[in-house]
Amino acid sequence: MAKRFSRRAVLAQIAVGAGVAGFGFPIPHAYSASDDRPWAFFTDDEARWIAAVVDVFIPQDEFPSASQAGVVDFIDNQMATQYGEGDGLYLEPPFPAGVPEQGYQLEFTPAQLLRQGIEQARQLGEIATMDATARAAHVEELHQREGITSVLIAEIWKLTRQGYFADPIYLGNHDYAGWRMVGFPGAHAYYTERVDEHRRSVTPPPRGIAHDRGGSPFPPRAIRGGAE
């Protein structure tokens, strides 16, 4: 329990440096609904693998897990854009091993890294069939290995944080899950209706750039083949 609280606290500090704010709202399960929308990049098997990994990083408690908040959709969308294509990355050889301080040193675009890394990782075990304890141990094992799987897990961890706390127009942070967790109000353009209210605590519901309910008209896709 203490370990989970610590991870939540770290995530809150990453997002806005604020404490956790308790908001009650319904939590849909990522595996619950039939959904025929195709993925932009992932196969169903890849999406199921990603969902299992990101839920190790941000599991469900009083707030949605990463997959329930649309992080898989966020990552899928990123892999189908210029980011996934490696726009801005220098990808010409040679590719020396390097040291961690030098940053990313592989020849793959982010999309290639995820595709090839997931394929290699799945040869070491099907995380989607494991229980929560085994999943956490498996992710740690992948991260400690030499080679592509270590870089893969680091990349997914980065994308998980981005997806959980990004504006919902980018398909993550569904229903403002991440912002509700840390008490971030989002993109309210003005507070003129409250300008004369003094010494009163104001906690408006989060609002994203699109100002839609939930921040996006698209709920997270169902992770086909998963279990309740």
State pLDDT tens for residues 134-168: 999 999 999 999 889 999 999 999 999 999 999 99
Q: Please report the DSSP string for 16-70 in residue order.
A: TS------------TTSS---PPPSS--HHHHHHHHHHHHHHS--SSS--TTTTT
Separation of alpha carbons 106 and 103, rounded Å: 9
State pLDDT tens for residues 30-72: 433 446 789 999 999 999 999 999 999 999 999 999 999 999 9
Q: Which of 57, 223, 221, 50 is nearest to 132 (CA)?
A: 57
- Domain segments of the chain as ranges: 2-194
State pLDDT tens for residues 91-104: 888 877 777 777 77
